[in-house]
Amino acid sequence: MINWLRRLVYYHVMEEADSTIEKCLILADFFIDCALKSKIIICFARCCIFLWAMCLHLSAAGQSPEALAMMRNGLINVQDADPNIVVKLMYAEADNFVGESMYGTLREAMLQPEAAEKLTVASNNLKKKHPRYSMIVYDAARPRKIQQIMWNKVKGTPKSRYVSSPKRISMHSYGVAVDVSLLDENGLPLDMGTPVDYLGELAEPRREQEFLKSGKLTRKQIDNRLLLRNIMKNAGFRSISNEWWHFEACTREEAQRKYLPVDFF
């Protein structure tokens, strides 16, 4: 119902009108017509559409075409939900394991509303515990075409176990997975022992105690990971065993039932 409402607003209001004033006039005409006909329920529904339209119009200003395409399908910009969250998409730059920028003009972290809401809770909980810390998002919704490029890079190598095969649709491609870390009071990433996007055993949470004993990870690095995991899990996210930065807002079965894969290219 919510996704249907968002799409109705976008196509009827955002595409038929050329200005904010015209958008308001179109919707105001709806309200008057409903009121004159005493269709109270319909009038109320259209009032709700009006509020959605205004919010969508304000949030759409300055967004990339890729972000707008995902908004039309119900996803929302993480920073619209919580401006305190820092976004630096690693696949929008060449400094990643693929070695190239793959996101076009996209610089926004887009998620399904369910995931964005949980991330906002996590960010708020972090601020309560560490007021000067911030959450940083390195990746969010990811089109299937990009997932295929990543898979082609690692297919047939030991690193393939760190990248989801396109045949088994990535949770990022459903818009319910997010790659995150924490920034300190100076805006610098906390030391987690490896960078985000590190495709190797040292990034695996399941082996942290082993690497602590061998000296490959320090107690502080593991404590930083635990802080991140606890913040995310308490907000309703699930972690995975081979990447400390990756979290999912629901199970794969729920994602398949509720959402379509993301495509904007």
Given a cut of 50, whether residue 253 has pLDDT beyond it is yes
Task: State the Cα–Cα distance between residues 53 and 45, nearest whole angstrom.
Answer: 12
- Lowest average pLDDT, out of 4-8, 116-120, 213-217, goes to 4-8
Tell whether 139 and 242 lie within a shared domain.
yes
In a domain, 84, yes or no: yes
Tell whether 109 and 127 lie within a shared domain.
yes
pTM of this prediction?
A: 0.76
The count of structural domains within the chain is 2
Residues with Cβ within 8 Å of 200's Cβ and at least 6 positions away in sequence, in order, are 159, 162, 194
In a domain, 263, yes or no: no
Band (pLDDT 50/70/90 cuts) for residue 262 is confident
- Helices 219-234 and 113-129 meet at what angle, rounded to 10? 130
Tell whether 40 and 74 lie within a shared domain.
no
Task: State the Cα–Cα distance between residues 108 and 84, nearest whole angstrom.
Answer: 14
Q: To 5 degrees, how large is the angle CA 134–CA 95–CA 251?
A: 60
Tell whether 184 and 82 lie within a shared domain.
yes
Q: Which domain does 32 fall in, by range?
A: 2-60
Strand 86-87 to 134-139 pairing: parallel
Which pLDDT score, from 0 to 100, does residue 162 have? 84
Tell whether 123 and 212 lie within a shared domain.
yes
- pLDDT 10s digits, 109-167: 999 999 999 999 999 999 999 999 999 999 999 998 888 888 888 888 888 878 887 77
Given a cut of 50, whether residue 28 has pLDDT beyond it is no
Given a cut of 90, whether residue 229 has pLDDT beyond it is yes
Given a cut of 90, whether residue 50 has pLDDT beyond it is no
